[in-house]
Each structure stands twice: as C-alpha cells, then as structure tokens.
Structure 1
Amino acid sequence: MKKISLSFLFFVLAKFVFAQSADSVYVFSYFVGNGEDGLHLAYSEDGFTWNSVRERSFLKPELSSDKLMRDPCIIRGKDGFFHMVWTVSWTQKGLGYASSTDLIHWSEQTYIPVMEHESGARNTWAPEITYDPENEEYMIYWATTITGMFPETQVQEDNAYNHRMYYVTTKDFKSFSDTKLLYDPGFNCIDATVVSYLGRWIMFLKDETRIPPQKNLKVAFSDRLTGPFGPASAPITGDYWAEGPTAINIDGYWMVYFDKYTQHRYGAIRSKDLKNWDDISDEVIFPKGIRHGTVFKISHGELDKLLANP
C-alpha cells in the first residue's frame, strides 16, 4: 500500500480547517426587554453587520415565578448539541438550562440550583458555559452576592449588592460539582466570559464598582479554566458604562461585543494582542433592542434552517 506523507496529511488537514472556517457564520444569542419574551438570535457574515433571524423568540421561558430568560449563553458542546444557560430571575438562587440540536427545537427547561445551599445568596446572574477539553468537562459560572461576604467592597448605593464569580463543573449537565468561588478580583464584579487562547484562558468581566464609578470591562488570565486567574487589567472600554461582554477571534482580531446599556445600544472593541484595544462601536450594527448575549459559530446550512422557520 502506498505510504501517505506527513506533508500530505497536513495539506488535507489545512484544507479541512479552511473549509470548516469558510462554511461558518456568526450567530448571537440575546434577549430583549426584561427577558420575558425568551431567546432571540441574530447572524452575521463578517462580525460587523448583524441581522435578526426572526422577530419572535425561539424559546419562551418557563422557569421560576418570574419566567425570564435573560443573558442567554449558548455554546456547541463536544457532543454536537447546543447547550444554553440563562438568568431565570432577579432573585433566584439557580439558573436555567436547555439543549438543542438545531437551535429551533429545545429540550425541557431545567433549573440548576447552584446557590440554593447558600442562605445568604441574593441572586444568580448572567451564567455562562465554557468547555475544558483537557478535563473533558464544562464549567458553568455566574455572579452572586452573598450577604456579608467581602464587606470591604460593599456600598449602600448598590443596595448592598457585592458580586463575585462562582462556578460548578459538569460532564453531562445532570450531575454537578460543588459550587466554588471562581474569581475575586478585589472589587464587585459580574458578567464574566472565558475563552481559550494559545494554551491559556482569558476572562473578560465587568467591574461593577459604583463608588468611585467603574462600570467598565477588564481582562484577566489563567493557566487553568477553573483558575486561579491573575489580577484584572486596567479598563479596556472607554468613558461609558459597559456590561455583558462576549468575545470571539475574527481574522486575527479579538472582538469583544458588549451592552452600552445606559446608551441603549451595543458596542464593540477589538485587539490583536489583548493589550491595545480600539473602540469600533460605530462600525457595528445590531438589531434594535438587543441585550446581553453570546457570540458563537454555526454552518451556513444550519443558518438556512433557522431562516426557514419564520
């Protein structure tokens, strides 16, 4: 049998990777209003111009007495399923979860009681999922205020909200590890999102400090998904209030999209080195009313099926 050269294998692999990249389109999961309407999706070919897939939502919230679906985070898992978590309530001690094969038909919505064991927990906000290929498990993480914790950064002007990031791990979204502290940067923080790059983990997060006001995005790094993460950087966003970051690498640039919530619009910054950032908010176009969500990739064929379900 004829031997296959190593160079030929690399050539085939490169063509496969290119084909996969060329066939991909960007999708953004988001909510509108207070989240009572459920899951919305937008798409983009270039990461700059985003169009709503359809006006009505793809999934109506059913969990908690509030029945909200805020901050929907979706990733494609190792199993090929789309896995989603979201904020079910302003005051609930757990989060929502559902899965799908096509982003159209979803599993039963389940409640994951990640902070129910903490009597002083006041909330579970903006959960996200990141997959750890080394340990073949998912990390779900979110922001919670626990009454009495971290008093050095608690202020009454924030109604005594004083968040830190917490997490659980899971392999199947049925059984979960004990809840642990993920990140205490020394300030009130929410809205973390973690991505991998060159063997390290990058956390983008919001500094929620009100006095003196920060309300900006920062970045921290770790060698392990579950930490420890190093000190938070200086602000990477400008002189405006920003929250809900989500990040993806497009053509060698790190793009971070976020909610300029006091301006009622979406913004974006980008960087090649994760140190120097350019504000490109005037170059991105998002659907009206879009709120905190996540960006991920699907194939054009998958997008066609979404667009065929008005």
Structure 2
Amino acid sequence: MKKVNLLIYSIIAAFFLLFSSCNQQTSSEENRYLFSYFKGNGESGLHLAWSEDGLIWHELNNGQPILEPTAGEDKLMRDPCIIQGPDGRYHMVWTVSWNERGIGYAWSEDLINWSEQQYIPVMEHEPNARNTWAPEITYDEKNDKFMIYWATTITGLYPETFSELEDGLNHRMYYVTTKDFKEFSETKLLYEPGFSVIDSHIVPHNGEFIMFLKDETIEPPAKSLHVATSKNLTGPYSQPLVQITGDYWAEGPTSLYIDGTWIVYFDKYIEWTMGAVKSTDLENWEEISHKISFPSEVRHGTALKIEKEVLNNLKQQLN
C-alpha cells in the first residue's frame, strides 16, 4: 500500500512539475522585447527595435524615427525611457537638452500614436542646476505612484568630488513622484553615493528595488556600472554592491529579467557599440557583449517586455 501511495505521489509531483514548466514556457513565448533609443545627438527623435530573445535586435520603421521631438528649446530626444503603467498606457520621458532644467514627457496607447509632448520643469526652481540628464520612470505598485528620476549637476554642491575635467560636471540623482503626470511632488535628492553618479535605472524585484547606476568619476576614471538596492523606491539606496562591467567605459544601463536571468545592456560609448552582461544572482556577472546584436547607430535607451500582439501591431504599422 505504501509503495502504491508513493507511486501515485511521484506521478502527481511529476505532472505538477511538467505543468509548471509548460506554463512558464508559454508565458515566455508570449512575450517579446522592445528597445527605445536615439541616434546621433537625439535630434531625429524616438527609434525602436524589437527582439524575441533579448539578444538579437531588429530595427522598426526601417530605422526611421517613430516620433520627432518638440519639447524644450533645443528639441532633442535623448535617452528615451518607456514603461507601461498599470492601466496599460505607455509613458515616456527623455532628455530635451544638454543644458535645460526640465525633461520631456509623452504617453501612448499603442507606441505609435503619441500625446502632445510636455516639458516638465523638474529643476527650474534651482538656479544653479546645469542640466537634467537621462530621466527614467519606475512604477511603485505598493504606493500606486510613479517616480521620475534623473542626474543633475548643481554648481557648488559636493566640492569633495569636483573635478575641472569634463566641464566640471558633478552629478547626483534627483526625483519627483506623480500619480497622473499632471501634478508632481517637490524635487528631492535620490542618491548621493559619495561620487558623481548618473544614468540610474531602477526596477522592482522580489519586494525590493534594484538600481543599476554609472560611476561617473573622472579622476581617476571609473566610468563603470554598479548595482545598489533599497526596500523603498525613493530610497535610501545602499552603497554600490558590485561592479558589473569590465575594463571599458560604459553608460546608460537598462535591463531585462528573462527566465531567471538578468541581462543589463549599456552603451560602450567610446567604442560606439552596445554591450551587455548577465547574472542570475546580481553578484556574479558574465560578459555577453559578443552574443548581442543591435541595429547600427544605436545609442542607449530602455528595454521593456511587451506582449506579442503589441509587437505584431508595431510590425504591421511600421514595417
């Protein structure tokens, strides 16, 4: 009798594992991946690429821009970051200028037709702010709000990390929160790790928030990507836990989490090519730059998971 019960239990357990595996595979097969990016100085606007596996990327719209920039005085669309909100709407922010004290914002239902572009004056209150670079958005499900965050140099702050090189830029990360992209909180400091920091990219994972960031130190040069964590979206975040990139200059990290593996993409901007690393534990990282392929002229942006039907519509409308 015990042998029969054991056999039945084994069959049930095997069926459960098979069912779970099939469900996971089906879920993975239903997803596709989108990469938003810019070319040149960002004057042409928003560009999109797609991938089935997160490694090989194909341009959409024959490499032509999906959306031309109108926000801000300089009308650039650098560092485009797109996320999908809980209502299904896609929200995008971007760098409008090298020197202006605000960022661009627009939204879309289908990634093709976009709302009127807005200029959000997130640092206009600070007369010594020199820039607002590489904004990103992360959604906080627990508090039902979005956080927009970016890098700014404020002249005179943090003299201990000031250098006259690279035009004296000395960044820290700042943020605002919003529920509707119409009303915003006061601008606050998000991250001050004791060095010039830029290009933060934050994603929720297992009850905490993972920040990928760039150490922008120029003397001596760092220019490397790192990981920090926090229990809350608005911080405080830990000191950088591990360096994830190799012996090259990297910027603009963005990530995908695919079947238990992190892939972080970045711009090897001195070499004018894209790079990537992967990890299953956020501690041990493997260089996979040789395994990825991006369209020509890609500058850094944001990777996101989309449904296969959404991608099919994009391909039908744009190719």
Query: TM-score of the superposition, structure 1-length normalised?
Result: 0.94
Could you tell me how far apart the structure 2 residues matched to 1:65 and 1:16 are? 49
Could you tell me how far apart the structure 1 residues matched to 2:28 and 2:290 are? 26
Give the aligned residue type for 2:171. Answer: H
* Equivalent residue runs for 1:1-310 within 5 Å: 19-54=26-61, 55-310=63-318
* Higher Rg of the two aligned structures: 2
C-alpha distance 150-299 of structure 1, shift in aligned 2 (>3 A) = same
Displacement of 1:158 in angstroms is 2.2
Displacement of 1:14 in angstroms is 9.5
Could you tell me how far apart the structure 2 residues matched to 1:242 and 1:26 are? 22
Further displaced range: 157-166 or 17-26: 17-26
Displacement of 1:251 in angstroms is 1.6
Cα deviation code 1:213-266 (max 9, x no counterpart):
000101111010100001113421000000000011112111000000000000
C-alpha distance 167-304 of structure 1, shift in aligned 2 (>3 A) = same
Further displaced range: 294-303 or 163-172: 294-303
Percent sequence identity over aligned pairs:
58
Displacement of 1:19 in angstroms is 4.7
Further displaced range: 230-239 or 262-271: 230-239
Displacement of 1:34 in angstroms is 0.5
C-alpha distance 293-309 of structure 1, shift in aligned 2 (>3 A) = same
Structure 1 unaligned regions, length at least 5: 1-10
By percentage of residues, which structure has more helix?
2
| Residue aligned with 1:302, SS | helix
Displacement of 1:105 in angstroms is 0.1
| Residue aligned with 2:290, SS | helix
| Number of residue-to-residue matches in the alignment | 300
Displacement of 1:15 in angstroms is 8.0
C-alpha distance 184-25 of structure 1, shift in aligned 2 (>3 A) = same
Moved over 4 A (4+): 11-20
Give the aligned residue type for 2:34. Answer: V
C-alpha distance 205-12 of structure 1, shift in aligned 2 (>3 A) = same
C-alpha distance 290-230 of structure 1, shift in aligned 2 (>3 A) = same
CA contact (8 A) 2:256 2:305 kept: no
Cα deviation code 1:149-195 (max 9, x no counterpart):
11100100121100000000000000000000000010001000001
Give the aligned residue type for 1:32. Answer: K
Query: TM-score of the superposition, structure 2-length normalised?
Result: 0.91
Give the aligned residue type for 2:109. Answer: T
